[in-house]
Each structure stands twice: as structure tokens, then as C-alpha cells.
Amino acid sequence: MTLGQLSPGSSDAGTPGGEDPRNLANSQAAGTIDSATVNLEASIEMREIEGLSLGRIVLRRFLRHRAAMGSLILLVIVVIVAFSSEGIDAFGLKLPGWWMWNYQQVPHVINGGAPTLSLFPFQIGIHPFGQDTVGHDMFAQVMRGTQQSLMIVFVAGIVSTVIGVTLGAVAGYFGGWIDAVLMRATDIVIIVPLYLIASIVGRGVGKAGPLVLAIFLGVLLWTTLARLVRGEVLALREREFVEAAKVAGASDFRIVFRHILPNTVGVIVVSATLAMSAIILTEAAISFLGFGVRSPDTSLGLIISEYQSAFATRPWLFWWPGLFIIIIALTINFIGDGLRDAFDPRQRRGLTRRARAERALAVAQGHPEPVGSTK
């Protein structure tokens, strides 16, 4: 008798196809173990967040997202160094910084303008980022450019968020011809090439200052958020709490901004942070093309544009502004990624060390009920 698949007529064939019942039992047992592990993790996490508000649950999840927290710390350090070293000169407010040079001073060129920063042995020197051909201190230039780029990012992000949330909420809640008109206007803005219209706007308002440029960039970059908010509002307006608010006599304005929009805050925050990383790249691109921030002020993109001819002989003039553009864009992206995970109820990221030890002990003991659980 040959060994192989059991015949369907055999008494040991437990399935119509003649599959070995031992294999079937093993697969069922594996499925049971996986299901038990998922249920165990869910039980442990539910006990961890029991009694906490939604805001505190989101905060706990965000604080346990290592990439997002590391990015947030790095971004805060960049903001503090940029604004404290060069000082603040905006809206009539002038506060001096702690750095010895400002971005407009022209000291004597030292060591051919090469950076004095050294890691081995560690020393900063008087021109850590080097000097340009004229003598401007590049550290002061990069810090001033970082200030302006950050200001453009946050102002444009706020403006685009306000416009996108308002138009998306109005279109989604009222529907009908209002929705049709607003969405067709959104489509028109989407199909226009972004860099073309941003360059036209930048050329017209660049001399008016970075603040005006930031506002116009915010006016151009709201379309994605408007569509996302509209989709969320379309789903939420049919929920029971909206009907209850209407029965209670709440106005449409109160229903939209008091009851519906708070339930879309996750989508809004995540989309706004991701849009900010796109804004700094857009600003750098149009400034590099000469349509953004103008001299005598500066930005990171403008610094790269001004010194593009010196790339072969003085590459440090590109390293530092390019590095800060990358840092700002990546940190904002990682923060947005962490916020997305924190607001997603399906994520089970970041059990505490005690909870992980409890889960490992329970798995080792054959998936008993977690310690402290109630039946």
C-alpha cells in the first residue's frame, strides 16, 4: 500500500476532498491562536485607555510614535535655533539674536570662506557654515532663510486649512447646487499647474514680503483638504447625532462647526501637516526660480538660487540650505504620519512595557484571560 492522500471512502478521510484531518486541525488551531492573540492585545489596550477621553487617547498614541516624537523634537530645535540666533525682525518687532553676525553684515572673508565647523576635533569657529564670495556669514543667512521659510509654511498651512475646511464642510453639508458650484471651482484650481500659478503670484507679490506670498500660497493649496473634508461631512451628516441636533433646533452653522467638524479633526490635522511639507518645497522651488522671496530678504530656496553658479567651487553654499529644507520637510511628514496613526482607531501601536510583558506572559501560558480582566 502506498502512502499518500487518503481516499475519500476511507474512514480516516475527514474532508470531502480527502484532506488529511490532522492538517485541517493544525490550520484551525493556528487560526484560533492568531485570533486569541488579537483579542488579547485588544483587551490589554482597552484596559489601558479605559476612562480616558479621546484627546488623551490620541495624545498617548502620538507620544509613543517614536519617529513622530523624534521629528517633533528636531523641528522644535530648528525653530528655536533659527529664531533665537538671528533674532526677530517682523511686523515692527525687532529682537536681537545671540549670533555675532546678521544676514546683512559683510565681514572679512576668512580661510577662503570655507566652513570653520569641525567635528573631529569639535569646534564651531566664527563662521561654522562658511562665507559666500562677498563675505556674508552663511550661518546667519541660513537661519534667516529658515525663519522666512518656516513663517511661509505655517501661515500658508493655516490659510489653506481654513479655506479647505470651510468650503469642504459647506459643500458636504448642504449638497445640491452649492456642492456642485464649490466642487467645480475646486476642479478648476486643481487642473491649473501649481508651479505656474504659484510663480505668477510669487512674481507679483514677492516684493510685498514673505507674508503676502504665504497668504497667496495658502489660497492656492486648499483643494485636497476641501475634498477630504467634504467626503467626511457627507458621511457624518446622515448620523443620528446630526438628526438629534436638527430636532433640538440647532442652526446649520452650529451643526457643522460644533457637531460635525470636531469628528473630522483627525483628517484635518493629518492633511494640514502633510500640506505644510509640500508648501516648503513649493516655496523653495519658486524662490529658486526667482519668483518667490526677493532680496534684500532671503529664504532657503533663494539662497540656493543665488549661489547655484558656485556649486563646483563652494558646495557648502548648497549643503546647509538644502539640508534644512530636507529636515523641515521630513520632520513635518513624520509628524503627520504619527498623527494619522494616533487618530486611526484601528492602530494598536505602542503598548506600555508592562502591558507587553503581560501579553508575553499570557501567550506563554496558553492565552488565559489577562490579569485584571473582567468577564
pLDDT in tens, 100-119: 888 888 888 888 888 888 87
| pLDDT given for residue 69 in this prediction | 94
| pLDDT given for residue 347 in this prediction | 58
Three-class SS of residue 123?
Answer: strand
In whole angstroms, give the CA distance from residue 216 to residue 210: 10
| pLDDT given for residue 206 in this prediction | 58
pLDDT above 80 (res 305)? yes
Mean pLDDT for 186-204 is 78
pLDDT in tens, 14-44: 444 555 554 544 544 444 445 555 555 555 5
Mean pLDDT for 54-71 is 86
- Count of other CB atoms within 10 angstroms of residue 99: 17
Mean pLDDT for 42-66 is 72
pLDDT above 50 (res 374)? no
Mean pLDDT for 139-166 is 92
| pLDDT given for residue 217 in this prediction | 86
Phi, psi of 91 (to 5 degrees): 55, 35
Q: Cell 469642504 maps to which residue? A: 168
pLDDT in tens, 273-300: 888 888 888 888 888 877 777 777 888 8
Higher-confidence residue of 371 and 105: namely: 105
| pLDDT given for residue 323 in this prediction | 92
Smallest CA-to-CA distance from 140 within 297, 282, 292 is with 297
pLDDT in tens, 236-257: 888 888 889 888 888 888 898 8
pLDDT above 90 (res 197)? no
Write out the three cell numbers for 121.
576635533
Phi, psi of 373 (to 5 degrees): -75, 155
pLDDT in tens, 331-341: 998 998 888 88
| pLDDT given for residue 180 in this prediction | 93
In whole angstroms, give the CA distance from residue 191 to residue 36: 50
Quote helix, strand, coil % in the chain, to nearest 5: 65, 5, 30
Q: What is the mean pLDDT of the chain?
A: 78
Find residue 93's DSSP bridge partners. Answer: 90
pLDDT above 80 (res 142)? yes
Residue 218 amino acid letter: G
Positive or negative, the CA dihedral 191, 195, 201, 203 is negative
Confidence band, pLDDT 50/70/90 cuts, at residue 49 = low
199's CB contacts (< 8 A; 6+ apart) are 286, 289, 291
Share of the chain above pLDDT 90, in %: 21
Higher-confidence residue of 107 and 205: namely: 107
The size of the chain, in residues, is: 375
In whole angstroms, give the CA distance from residue 48 to residue 327: 34
In whole angstroms, give the CA distance from residue 283 to residue 302: 9
In whole angstroms, give the CA distance from residue 292 to residue 283: 7
| pLDDT given for residue 361 in this prediction | 63
Confidence band, pLDDT 50/70/90 cuts, at residue 267 = confident
HSE of 79, CA atoms in CB hemisphere, 13 A = 13
| pLDDT given for residue 42 in this prediction | 54
Q: Cell 546647509 maps to which residue? A: 320
In whole angstroms, give the CA distance from residue 298 to residue 149: 9
Residue 245 amino acid letter: A
Q: Are 110 and 93 in contact (CB under 8 A)?
A: no
N- to C-terminal Cα separation, the chain? 53
Instruction: Kindly report which listed range (24-33, 61-70, 297-306) carries the lowest average pLDDT score.
Output: 24-33
